[in-house]
Chains A and B, each alone.
Chain A
Amino acid sequence: DGGITQSPKYLFRKEGQNVTLSCEQNLNHDAMYWYRQDPGQGLRLIYYSQIVNDFQKGDIAEGYSVSREKKESFPLTVTSAQKNPTAFYLCASSAFGRTDTQYFGPGTRLTVL
């Protein structure tokens, strides 16, 4: 069954702790993305990667880090430097790079206590 998986669905962390969100795709897509969704704000791009071992900052990259060691995996770390980390995080992928249609995973809701 092809698709994008994100785990966990819900995540709770204490303030000051780093946390890593998982994103895996078995669609053989080249590009992967991380977005943050806040109520009434739409989706905002955090990071994207068009190819393995390469990634670029999006509009709101401060306080986040990523890696792309494998084509199918694009984990996002929310660091303690992120001032307001509580949000819904969505991972997406596209087949042929940034000008292609993006497909989304189910999301991870992170709550920092």
Chain B
Amino acid sequence: DSGVTQTPKHLITATGQRVTLRCSPRSGDLSVYWYQQSLDQGLQFLIHYYNGEERAKGNILERFSAQQFPDLHSELNLSSLELGDSALYFCASSVEEGKSSYNSPLHFGNGTRLTVT
């Protein structure tokens, strides 16, 4: 058990809808990262938050947004869903960020499997 909790485990929704994925990082971890894993794109970095502040954006669509709350949990909001958004969405956490943490692994949750029909 990595200590990172993601809910829900599975989500099935229709095109055009909006969903929210939730993540609770490991106790003490200030950094939260979101990744998308699809069959054709592999593991794609979406966004990184540290202690409530957005730090970096990757290949995140404008229809997607995220935030990290004062209690450090994070939510990823996906709107106007398309069939191509079907994927496994991972949240990961790390105790630190930046160059000093180059030897710190990211600890991943079990993911939310999103199916858009």
Are A and B bound to each other? no
Show the binding face of A for B, using Cβ within 8 Å.
none
Show the binding face of B for A, using Cβ within 8 Å.
none
